[in-house]
Amino acid sequence: MQHIIVTGGNGQLGSEIKELAPQLKDYSFHFFDFQEWDITDESKSLELFEKIKPSFLINCAAYTAVDKAETDVDNANKINGDCIAMLSRVCNQYGAHFIHVSTDFIFDGKKSEPYIESDSPHPISIYGSSKLLGEKLLQENSNSYTILRTSWVYSQFGNNFVKTMMKYGRERGALSVVFDQIGTPTYAADLAAAIVFHLNEWVAHKNNVYHFSNEGVASWYDFAFEIFQQKNIPCKVTPILAEAYPTPAARPKYSVMNKGKIKEEIGIEIAHWKESLHRCLQLLD
């Protein structure tokens, strides 16, 4: 029996992994949320690793408050960046493979074709730079790692764009949604399945970076429109420019990711975002 530690156990991705865990009979999963384990605490981390002796660490924990990070720089860097070096060394000590979830926000969004893994990162927000710091520290300190960059994550669990749109769409007759930020929604259940059903492949292709989102391309306006269509919510949605909805943190204008590498090397099949959205919406009232 191999053991797997999952951080961020009550978040969107951690919760989806929890749903799948019973299907993996050869693995014992150990889920932790921030109330139970501060991943920046080295002594606590060593204590847990000594007790569990994991073969894998799946790090779903992150500082994800993108706008708040602009003024909470130290905490964002500590959680998304600095502690990754320490966790890497702990994983090395116990021979655990480190699977780390990163983000499309490490790119500036100035490309006009999908980003590949080797494209030069250039974050335009504190959140993005803190996640890039985590990637760099992992690569510098870990003996065995996988970095999975994803984007626009939603789920039946937690707070996310899908749930927010459903709530506001039902409360209001009309909404305005940004249409000049382009990316791809990612159903956390699909990302969870990609992670846990390919554990051996991650080790076989260790020390690599991969992109994972659902297939297809959308703006936030397209995403909202499709939610209302599929749920038959009679809300008029109007496209607006991002400059009409200013936020403290800048967002990439274009962050579509090329998934060719993960499909070819790991053998993962990826669903279109509209298909995955349909599966998620069936679980939501």
What positions carry a catalytic annotation?
127
**Distance (Å, rounded) from C-alpha 260 to C-alpha 211?**
8
Of 150, 243, 244, nearest to 192 by C-alpha is 150
